[in-house]
Structure 1
């Protein structure tokens, strides 16, 4: 059994990006809002985390494409992919939620409530395990995939670090708790959501994917990282609207 095939090396690259992301996030753990502002004043760390997440996402997409192109799919590759995703898209968003919730609850039980943020990590593990044993998810997803969920949480983390708040200090904790519950639910829900595995490039078979990509690019161009919650919402809506196309693709 070959361990170091090209797809597996790409998956290990995804894992490496995830590990370095966690090292970067460690700089935010245990710091209050003033310290977070000081950390971000260098203008590097947050962008580095964003770049690493994009690297993980790109490599996560690429390893599967390369494996299919070279026809070297393997059971070890499938398991390795989930293990890498658990770090890059499971532990990472959980730590982001931990940092944010802790800073809003540090006067309550010494910030112990921040551990609630790690429920994102727990539900990510459930989502990945569910995906591995569900044969129906070969052409579409049931529930929100862990990379998409990570981008959603990162966009909120980005706003929090950049502005010292999400919307308003009075309501931010409520927003975070709602996001936490919504995130955990979407990860293990059975809502059919389309994947980006193109069988062909024909408009007829992929019109809803092209529509999503076109509008997403416009939103990113206008609102940058802050547009990610809107893009994820649009992704869910368009998947629901075109449910029959997705399930019977």
Structure 2
């Protein structure tokens, strides 16, 4: 590493250490703290390395850290995916693949879902598991807690009774390609994730359509789409689906709305009121 690169790496580590509170990394605050943030010895202990080695990194005197060391520092400092990538770049190393999709939702995202009373909203991880949803989404899409994976619903009718809980009777082929494109991207990013591997095996074994679409290697991006969903209580409902990406967690928030003043909007309002 060049002297400039060592200085930049040292500055980044000091900055993140001083920003992290003991509570954020699972440590008691304890008495006698005169400065905010973590102590060097605490970071070293969390990263399973010597205090001397970590101190040399912060003083721009250490050797180029290995990917294993960088991952340990990522965990110790609770770095976000974006911060992790930046750390690897500063050290001149290629980031190791993440272990698997992020399957927790940030609290502010969950709060957002519940501030939209006439919008059905879900958060999906990279393997199309619904990891957060609001009551209207559950009522519209049908028992998300029972079967949260939208890929299984789309290709396997996976509520255990031969149906998905709702009938997406328009844009079904397009949505199938969107699902496959996202799962292909996920397996490339998380090749060692066992839940994702099991999901793909289930889909291949249970759906010739999934296998056929997979073999075409579709390229699809999230965006605005209009579709008709047939709900057991409402019948056909014409809705708009809009996707907000959360890049740092590789997640998507899907907002399902109806055009203002339309019969579908009135149906969604009635479904929301009945909850």
TM range (shorter): under 0.3
TM-score, reference length from structure 1? 0.25
Question: More relative contact order in 1 or in 2 (CA 8 Å, sep 6+)?
Answer: 1
TM-score, reference length from structure 2? 0.23
Greater CA radius of gyration, 1 or 2?
A: 2
Greater strand proportion: 2
